[in-house]
Amino acid sequence: MLRYTIRRLVQLVGVVLVLSLLLFAWLRLLPGGPVSALLGERATPESREALTKQLGLDQPIFIQYFKFLGRAATGDFGVSTGVQPGDSALDIFLQRFPATVELSFFAILIAIAVGVPLGYLSAKRRGSWFDNLSVVGSLIGVAVPVFFLAYVLKDVASSALGLPSSGRQDAIDATRVTGFFTLDGVITGEWDATFNALEHLILPAIALATIPFAVIFRITRAAVLDVLDEDFVRTAESKGLTAPVIRRRHVLRNAMLPVVTTIGLQTGALLSGAVLTEKVFSFAGVGEALAIGFERRDYPVLLLLIIMATIVYVVVNLLVDLSYALIDPRIRTR
Amino acid sequence: MVLGLSSKKEKIDGLAESSGTSLAASAWKRLRRSPVFLTGAVIIGIFILISLLSPWLAPHNPADPMLIDQVVKARNEIPPAQPGHPLGGDLQGRDFLSRLLVGSQQTLIVGVGATLIGLSGGLILGTLAGALGGWVDSVVMRIVDVMLSLPSLLLAFSIAAMFARPSQFTVILAVAIVQIPVFARLLRGSMLAQRHSDHVLAATALGVKKGAIVFRHMLPNSLGPVIVQSTLVLATAIIEAAALSFLGLGNPDDRIPEWGQMLGDVQKVFDTHPHLAAWPAICIIIVALGFTLMGETLREALDPKNRR
């Protein structure tokens, strides 16, 4: 178990190094570039040259990369040129990362809270109108472009429900402790701040939840269908166990393995979806920074955020693989 | 030699089909009766028909700003529905209905183009890795691992941002490259599973050349899941192309319309003129749903577990 974890972490370091080199070269191939983004298209050649030199973009790419690695080791990932000009890329990441974590967490929570029970009920009533309706509904969920749904929620639902349609929190006097706005209020006892942050989270979280919901629903349904056919479920029924016990101990426990895998794989979809959702709701998270970063060619910020997204994605999937052992005793004994 | 063998093989296949039913035949039998599959097939049939006939169906030229005198940019005024223009005009005063109809064509091209490129890339990598094994397999799979360690849309955004002059083709390419590792993994998996199976062993024992084994025996047996995946990718490609347009990474030339581009381009007037976004969005949702319905029912039908 420990050896397995260490091997996976070493692999992760390799992937990150390769990826950082690729991204570094890649981002420098991007058209436009930070100089045009900062000075505009009509800048004089002299001022362009001066800024190019100042940013170190005139040196060979490998030298730029090794300099970057050296600085990165000390926590210096460069200064933002477009998202929040002048701020360090690391600060931008640290500021915005909690926002995206909060948003993704609530999105996946919604997806699980709706998807798993619905998938279970659908499987139990296979072929019924309830089952068919849920299946078609989940397929429509996958077919709707996330940003379109986000706009619909923002423009229609927010006014109908009286919910805020942009930002993370109103300009209220709230104490910052962790950077997680919902958590800060709980720690300091400022419940109105928590409530306000939650209000801002609901709509973007619903928009972000649709795709993971659809996937979790379908996987749960398929897994429960598989398990319901198993001999041990029939045995449990015939020895007179009550329905809730069968459901909890026999059906759900065995059906959860593929569901947990899917939840891990959905972090990737969440990060991609966050770019679109956060842009629509002007939600100051990593996704919005990426969207703006692409627009304004902000190399340092793009580089750091994409690498961090990759690390988070890989680590979450490692945690998922490790959690198998907790759920499935057959894997633990091996 | 190889030719003679294949014709013999076809005869044997024919015999097998007449005595029992092959997986494909029984799958087709079930699909024909599945209302879900038929719904998807009808949607896609109509979609393809409209996109082929759209030049004749469209009442006006989709690139002609004939209503431009009604557009007042400063006040966000857009031509409303009027005789001859049932859906009104768009932001540039072009007939909206014509743009929707003609837009189906480019949308079909984006979906099919991205799927074909992704599929071919995946076929090459997956076949190389699965058939050759050894260091080729290791190298190919490490590349695939790196590509898969990046969230998919993020990869598509990064690729699309690379091009100095974005166009329909760069959009298709960005969406397609993301699909390559998915197809590659699928094919490698089923190739590896077959390497030690009886029919490959038998062919090897008969002295069939390695290339012939791979292309005549292993590849055809791996196609089921690949076809299913392609159908699903057709849907995601169209949706992801829309996301690229939304982020400003789409095709800037809007003379020839495409639904994703139409949807992504109107974000600034979404609150004042929701119909400009709603129509292309509804078209995308219906078509994506059609492909998904077909893909999901195909997957179920081709699953040997469901054979009865």
Name the 3-class secondary structure at B95.
Answer: strand
Classify the C-alpha dihedral B236-B237-B238-B244 as positive or negative.
positive
> Quick check: A139 and B296 CB within 8 A?
yes
pLDDT surpassing 80 at residue A82:
no
pLDDT at B19: 47
Buried b (16+ CB within 10 A) or exposed e, B73-93: eeeeebbeeeeebebbbbbbb
Residue with tokens 């902000």: A298
pLDDT tens track for A224-253 = 988 888 888 888 888 888 888 888 888 888
A165, A155 contact by CB (below 8 A):
yes
Report the residue from A18, A279, A294 with minimal CB separation from B249.
A294
One-letter amino acid at B70 equals Q
Q: What is the pLDDT of residues B10-37, one digit of tens each?
A: 444 444 444 456 777 777 888 888 888 8
Q: What is the pLDDT of residue A21?
A: 83
Please say whether the beta carbons of B163 and B221 come within 8 A. Answer: no
Query: Has residue A333 got a pLDDT over 70?
Result: no
Which has more pLDDT, B238 or A1?
B238
Of A56-60, A81-85, B124-128, B300-304, which has the strongest mean pLDDT? Answer: B124-128
> To the nearest whole angstrom, how far is the Cα of B288 from the nearest Cα of chain A?
5
Output the pLDDT for position B141. 85
**pLDDT of A10 strictly over 80:** yes
| CA nearest to B150 within chain A | A310
* pLDDT tens digits, one per residue of B89-125: 887 778 888 889 998 999 999 999 999 999 999 999 9
Phi, psi of B67 (to 5 degrees): -105, 20
Structure tokens at A199: 């209000």
The answer to whether B150 contacts A26, with C-beta atoms less than 8 Å apart, is no
Averaged pLDDT, groups of 10, chain B, 308 residues long? 43 47 77 85 94 86 77 70 80 85 91 94 89 84 82 84 83 93 88 82 84 82 84 91 87 86 83 85 93 87 65
Kindly report the nearest CA distance between residue B60 and chain A, in angstroms. 27
Nearest-CA distance B151 → chain A (Å): 4
Q: Which residues of A fall within a CB distance of 8 Å from B157?
A: 275, 290, 294
Q: Which chain B residues are within 8 Å of A295, Cβ to Cβ? A: 247-248
Report the complex ipTM: 0.81
Burial code (b: 16+ CB inside 10 Å, e: under 16) for B285-297 equals: bebbbbbbbbbbb
Query: Model confidence over A137-188: pLDDT tens digits?
Result: 888 888 899 889 998 888 888 778 877 777 777 766 667 777 777 777 777 7
CB atoms within 10 A of CB B274: 16
Beta-carbon contacts of B221 under 8 Å, excluding residues fewer than 6 positions away, are: B190, B194, B199
Looking at residue B74, what is its pLDDT?
A: 61
Query: Smallest Cα–Cα separation from A139: which of A88, A70, A210, A207?
Result: A210
Q: Does B34 touch chain A (CB under 8 A)?
A: no
